[in-house]
Structure 1
Amino acid sequence: MPKHVVFDVVGTCVSYSAFFTSIQKVLGPRLLAHNITPKLFGFAWMESSEREFTYLSISSRYKPYKQVFSTMFYRILWMSGIDNPRAFATDAERDEMVRSYSDLELREGVKETFAALREAGFTVWCLTTGDVERVHGYFTRGGVDFPIENFRSCDGLGVAKPALAAYKPLYESFGEEEKWFAAAHYWDVSAAKIVGFKGAYCSVYEKEDCKELFDVDMDVMADTLPEMAQKIIEASK
């Protein structure tokens, strides 16, 4: 029977390190003068943007994540304790940091992970909420061959993960074949499992899975992507 494994991309296959480095370069000393670390600011900016992005999506007012992300910048400065955000930073500085999202780099072991799964008979797919050109570019620049026809985005559907409708088209396209979903976000894999995927979770990003929040157990859990691939292969035998 054919076998499929669908990967989330940003946060799972791709690290946020380049984004945090950009914040350090552009605003680091100014943020630290207010006792705000660049990494914590970057995390707050991303997570708050994800929330607004999701709220817009579930209220039928979908906006692309990049638009939401850019718009949220000054609000997060304010919430971080900066009294006059628009005097603290400029649009050009914001745009430079937003652009750094296109410079994100693949995590260690991605190439080996995909190779092991393909050798074991899996077809590897990616499902992202971002735009395909930008997200597929991470693999191209990282020297990992990934066929564009195996890339899917729910951006064109006007729906964002973890809405179950984001996973269903790809899930249903596989029919009765074996199908896995793999990610470094527990919320992501747990939603895919509700749709029907087998779930593989990697703790490389979140460290703490907080699985008691989600009421869904994983079929596979691992600390690295290559380890997760091997456990998927073993579990499918």
Structure 2
Amino acid sequence: MSTRLVVVHDVLGTCFDLTKPIEALKSIFGDQVKDDRLAELIIMDWYHAGQRDFTTLSINGDYKPISACFKAGLPRVLLQAGLIKRDADGAAQTQTDRGGGSGLPADQHFSQTTGDGKGSPFGEEVTQKIMSTLSTLRPRPGMVNAFTKTYRDQTKVAKHIDRVDLWGATNGGLPLAQKLFVGALGEQTPLYTGTQAVNEQEKSVSGTEHKLGNGVGVFSCDENKIAKPDPRVYEEIIKRIQIKPNEDVRMWFVASHTWDLFAAKKAGFKTAWVTYEEFEMCSDIYGTPDIVAKDLDDIAKKIVEYESK
């Protein structure tokens, strides 16, 4: 019986951090967010609100790409944070009753906005500057080493494991995920998509350099128009893994979000939580992951060790 190790990673927040949008926010509102922690909290609030809106739409049968949720929700988060737009001369525009940079009371401000971004009190240029950073997110600590070395090291991976398949499963768009992985791992790294991704990963096992395989399979929720953590997403990922008769597949799901891991465990994955976003696992809510580590390379080493027993 052949044995295959499959490690699926959440992408946004887990494999790539939000340093870039934080830096963009500071460059726009620098005098209002001099504290680095405040800038981080505002961006994290935007990120989590976008996830909430994305999931809410999905479970109510009105799926929209998460990028649309991020874009539409950004002015709201900036207003909630009390940020104020400055005019061309650098003067602060007032924010009356949280009406925003329009200087109008909230009820009048709302009546003059369209909901499509054109009526944003901060202007399209602010939204675009922050949104554009999503395609340049930086890899998390240990991510590159985990994907290119630790999982591919024949001396570390147990001999009974014939192949290692690495995946990214994202609420974000497929082109964005592909761009981020290429930026982090290099253009020489194969990216596999679609229902045949697992077959392409199988073909990558050849010669002495890639006995355990290479490349990354990428799945986006946009493909099925269902948002994580809907159970159907994890079921679809398992379908993509394509477990064959007489094949022993060890499935892992890696994330920095415990809600994601909770759903993955329900679907049959072993789970690995990386601590650098949530910091506290809140086990009374979501239980305890199988592995906990400080970064993605540490996660990789622990999964390899776990499966070598």
Q: TM-score, normalised by structure 1?
A: 0.91
Contact 1:204 1:223 in 2 (8 A): yes
Residue 136 (structure 1) aligned with residue 136 (structure 2):
no
CA RMSD of aligned residues (A): 2.0
CA-to-aligned-CA distance 1:13-65 (integer Å, 9 cap, x gap): 101111111111112324569xx932222122111121111100100000111
Aligned partner of 1:75 in structure 2 is 76
Aligned partner of 1:24 in structure 2 is 26
Secondary structure of 1:199's aligned partner: strand
Tell me the distance in 2 between the aligned counterparts of 1:169 and 1:197.
13
Tell me the distance in 2 between the aligned counterparts of 1:89 and 1:223.
37
Residue 199 (structure 1) aligned with residue 200 (structure 2):
no
- State which of 139, 155, 161 in structure 1 corresponds to 2:228: 161
- State which of 117, 124, 145 in structure 1 corresponds to 2:151: 117
Q: How does 1:77-96 map to 2 (within 5 A)?
A: 77-81=78-82, 82=95, 83-87=98-102, 89-96=122-129
Contact 2:18 2:137 in 1 (8 A): yes
Stretches of structure 2 lacking an aligned partner (at least 5 in a row): 83-94, 103-120, 158-162, 193-216
Residue 101 (structure 1) aligned with residue 134 (structure 2):
yes
Secondary structure of 1:161's aligned partner: coil
Q: How does 1:157-236 map to 2 (within 5 A)?
A: 157-172=224-239, 173-175=241-243, 177-214=249-286, 216-236=287-307
Contact 1:171 1:197 in 2 (8 A): no
Residue identity (%):
27
Residue 148 (structure 1) aligned with residue 150 (structure 2):
no
One-letter code aligned to 1:139: F
Aligned partner of 1:62 in structure 2 is 63
CA-to-aligned-CA distance 1:126-175 (integer Å, 9 cap, x gap): 11111111112112222445432111111121111111111111213342
Give, in angstroms, the shift of residue 217 of structure 1: 2.4
Tell me the distance in 1 between the aligned counterparts of 2:304 and 2:185.
24
Aligned partner of 2:11 in structure 1 is 9
Tell me the distance in 1 between the aligned counterparts of 2:266 and 2:8.
15
Contact 1:53 1:65 in 2 (8 A): yes
Q: What number of residue pairs does the alignment pair up?
A: 234
Largest Rg, 1 or 2: 2
Tell me the distance in 2 between the aligned counterparts of 1:147 and 1:210.
37
Contact 2:142 2:298 in 1 (8 A): no
Tell me the distance in 2 between the aligned counterparts of 1:94 and 1:86.
14
One-letter code aligned to 2:151: L
CA-to-aligned-CA distance 1:104-139 (integer Å, 9 cap, x gap): 111121121122113324211111111111112112
Contact 1:26 1:97 in 2 (8 A): no
One-letter code aligned to 1:58: I
Stretches of structure 1 lacking an aligned partner (at least 5 in a row): none
